[in-house]
Structure 1
Amino acid sequence: MRISVIGGGYVGLVTAACFAELGHDVRIIEIDKRKAEQINAGKPPIYEDKLEGILKQSIGKRLSAQCNYDGINDSDLIFICVGTPPQDDGSADLRYILSAAESIGSALSGSDSFHVVTVKSTVPPGTTESVVVPAVLRKSGKFSGIIGFCMNPEFLREGKAIDDFMHPDRIVIGGQSDKAIDVVKNAYEKLDAPIITTSLKAAEMIKYTSNAFLATKISFSNEIGNICKRIGIDVYDVMKGIGYDHRINPYFLNAGLGFGGSCFPKDVMALIRLAERNGEEPILLRSVIDVNEHQPGRIVKILYERIGEIKGKKIAVLGLAFKDNTDDVRDSRSIPVIEELLQKEANISAYDPMATETMKKIFPDLSYHSSVGDALEGADACLVLTEWPEFSRLKDEFNRMKNPVVIEGRKILSGFGTEGVCW
């Protein structure tokens, strides 16, 4: 199958690489020339486990990147994988979706073949019908019988995206017609997963609801953890005890600093704004965000209780990425922690296995180190903010600190006695 993917960012690049791995001929449309050149050189502009290997195997054979829409009129299937960043009020910014849809329509204006335009970006319910469909048809001068439309949300975890794509829990396809849905189904025919077909709006809502529910589990766990901290209970024991209940399951119950990344905060806020515009008061979703926003401040409060005045103290911060196995710092919970420490005039000594360069764009003046030991040297206290596996093996490195005060935002340490933000 001939596939075009609009957008060479995280979702687009993983999607394109995996479809190429499945044997399809894939073209990435990426307007950033530097990024397109990196992709064509087999060097992913983002870090994602296994991605570079797939790129090197596919580039020049079944996969290529370009900065224009030339040639996409020979594609059977076109995926829109552009960003939908939050606006100032938290609602989704759809300008890139509209731009992509218009460019696709213009590119298809001279084609008489059947094409399926499929949105994979996370968009509010109704977006495909109200924004994408009319834009493509207007610019192409065609009607929907010649061009089909689908919505195929992604459920990729950063750091595990390749595995998630190749071994999905489910594949959701919303479509205007069975003919269009069948084309998308064919793209995934080599994967063994249940396929759920539904309307365009329902598929869009499934993505938002999935992220909102997982975020709710995290905030629920954190609120329980905050209570447990008050009365001397290890919340991890509690969550282990409830996680064996098959109605609950153990995933996303790890209490700590809260959720970050490019999806959960953005998508929950967008769902809140969607509810408000339709006359609903999303009480639970607001609470999910409120709990998440307050968690980072708790670890700084504990730090003050343990060492007193923070001004002038050297605080080692281990972990900058929003989670392990990625260099992504978008909405990382380390950001508000660092901001508060800087407000209190702490001297911050930071280390992360992969996210140093991305965090430098936000905090260029921190003291960054290339090893845990160097970051801990002479520190008055240490905050562990990301659950990198290498941190679980730390022990002797803490002897380089001035004071053995270590507080975890994620429960990862095993060789050194610590306390956590909510345990």
Structure 2
Amino acid sequence: MSVDAAGQAASGKVGPMDTDRSAASRRRGALAERGRAAHAAAVDLLWELAVLERLEYADEVAQVASADLRTLDGQLAILGGILRECLIDPERPPAPPEVALVSQVLHEVHAVRFAVHDHLGHERLRRLDQLDRGLARLRPVTDQDELLEMVCAAAAEAGGFERVMLSRVEDDTWRPWRSHATSIGDTELTFRDWIREVPRIELSHMLLESELVRRREPAIVARAAEDPRVYGPMARASDLTSYVAAPILSGERVIGLLHADHRGVEMTELDRDMLWFFAIGFAQVFERAVLLERLREQREQVRAAMRGVESVLEELASHTIDLVTRDEATSIGITRPARPVELERPRVLETLLTVRELEVLGLMATGATNDRIAQRLVIATGTVKSHVKQILRKLRVENRAEAISQYLRLTIGARED
């Protein structure tokens, strides 16, 4: 749990994001109440006019109005269509009083639907603007560790969520890793302890997380208690009721997962989309940071190798030259410049290193990373790391740069001979 969240909880301050979310929630509640009233008025009128009695799907039409605005809009669309048919039905022309009643109810149905569309459109634009501001704070960051420290809090702010969890995906397992909450209570403390203790979780085909990895798409859980895909220990530790989740992709591979929720509030498709858009944006920022770090490492390795080459060339260029034959030079004791290391020929390297280690060392000298070496030699990255460790030990050097320097000195010296 972040320090910012703890400070905010302790101070009781309410930020602009909380104010916007509260205002939007109140607006949704008011629209839902108005929509239920229009729905009830339309159903009552259709029963009074004996219209529903003639419909095969009357029970479906007369169902209780939904609390979800999109579903409610669909219900009102059906009722609006039936009310319009009442006004133009040639087999049963409505009386003037009925025309007035139907028109009045139909007008309210259309008014509510227009208000719902307006609210949903503005809400989406507001959330997208908020998302862009949140991602803008991450884009200047080029340190991958710093990005990982920021991601949960940034997702909560950018997506308008109260709680966010980051998980790592490795091979066939996933592991909850970090979390953030806009305020801290007993549930958050319990959940934080659970994250610290939870082992790697196998990605079985029944879990929602397996679905995220397989499909590489976001998902929404409306009722966690009734959804068999939900990982029970996580739901109990965090008191989850409804949440959204999205994968973090590197190319075609899922490297992490984000989970987010509002305490006790059913999540919407818009919430799912916002988390998905954030996951895509974060993946791009994180990948750039990783590539920049690799470039910095390779630049330093190349610089170290070039310093070694420069030293060898300087020795070769500065050594005195005598006008003698090779045999004469040997007989009178003229020697070549001493090598900076005891090893004097590549064949000596061959006695110290295995064939595979020589291949790895040769690729290291080109500035190749462990991942690149693994790809070239078609071996695992872990195997490359093991070879590098053995190379450093056998050459009695501290790091890659020293190993590369020795390799270049030996190979250049051999060519001069």
Q: Into which bin does the TM-score normalised by the smaller protein fall? A: under 0.3
Q: Taking structure 1 as the reference length, what is the TM-score of the superposition?
A: 0.28
**Bigger radius of gyration:** 2
Q: Taking structure 2 as the reference length, what is the TM-score of the superposition?
A: 0.28
Looking at secondary structure, tell me which structure has more strand per residue.
Answer: 1
Looking at secondary structure, tell me which structure has more helix per residue.
Answer: 2
